[in-house]
Amino acid sequence: MTLSPEQQAEIDELRGAAQPTLRAVAPGMEKHLYSAIPVLDHGFVRVIDYMGDDAAICQAARVSYGKGTKSVQNDEGLIRYLMRHWHSTPFEMCEIKLHVKLPVFVARQWIRHRTANVNEYSARYSILDREFYIPAPEALAAQSVVNNQGRGAALEGEEAERVLRYLRDDAMRAYDHYEEMISQDGQQGLARELARMNLPANIYTQWYWKVDLHNLLHFLRLRADTHAQYEIRVYADAICNVVADWVPFAYKAFEDYRMGGATLSATALDCIRRMLKGEEVTQENSGMSKGEWREFVGVLG
């Protein structure tokens, strides 16, 4: 991970300027404020600001439901009830703003989650750093033969070395040409907004990303999943650790009902009822396609 001297100076200044506040404070989150969490070879995630905590979720729910929550005896129980029954609005009362440094190809996956506010480093205005994501050898894998968007067996030996050499050499060559094109040494130089098109997708960019907790948990459910691409999953894993410290009751419920739970169709539930009665259920008499049955069996373990 690489922080510029200016970024490190900003972090040191902000962490050294504690101020009293009347707003709700989450002690677990305070330790994360401004500190950069390393991700990949040059990337990071750091918390810039946040609003709310577990109590804010409960406060919003009780305003909304009034006497309907009287049977819930504590905040953790209420949060689990909200998560279990997909009552999402109270979770929107919490927000987080992150500063993320990530490869461009990861950013293009990330931006598909269109429920956040994003402000990205401008390569029209500024010059991108000579920093590229080069995978660790163990992260190199062949194309999966069963999943068109997944990885297969790991590359090893000379094949892995060849791929790493191509990635490094091509990235450096592209950046050399980028610098040459924007150079103003004795000539006008190409506009930065045009020169940037020659840069590879593994170059690092940065952005501020602000999102509410409901939409953040949706992002984490998809991107922290074992089926997600490794390069975005490690960012999601880092954010999961932050969220667990920020809203521990909400995160525990999220792990239980979303990450560790499963959604079953009416047909799947009917199959489970038949199994519990002792009936032998197979794919042929289940009413499911082969793909559905395979996923169903996978859920049952």
pLDDT band at 280 (very low <50, low <70, confident <90, very high): very high
5-133+202-259: CATH number: 3.30.1360.170
Which tens digits make up the pLDDT trace of 222-250? Answer: 999 998 999 999 999 999 999 999 999 99
Which of the 8 DSSP states describes residue 42?
Answer: T
What does pLDDT average to over the chain? 90
CB 233 within 8 A of CB 109: no
**227 three-state secondary structure:** coil
Q: 3-class SS at 211?
A: strand
Catalytic residue among 80, 223, 233, 258: 223
Spatial distance between the Cα atoms of 291 and 293, rounded to a whole number of angstroms: 5
Give the up-direction half-sphere exposure of residue 246: CA atoms within 13 A in the CB hemisphere: 26
The candidate with the shortest Cα–Cα distance to 139, out of 220, 40, 224, is 40
pTM of the model: 0.88
pLDDT tens, residue by residue, 159-209: 889 999 999 999 999 999 999 999 877 677 899 999 999 999 999 999 999
Q: Please say if 151 is a catalytic residue.
A: no
* Strand, helix or coil for residue 117: strand
> Domain limits of the chain?
5-133+202-259, 134-200, 266-300
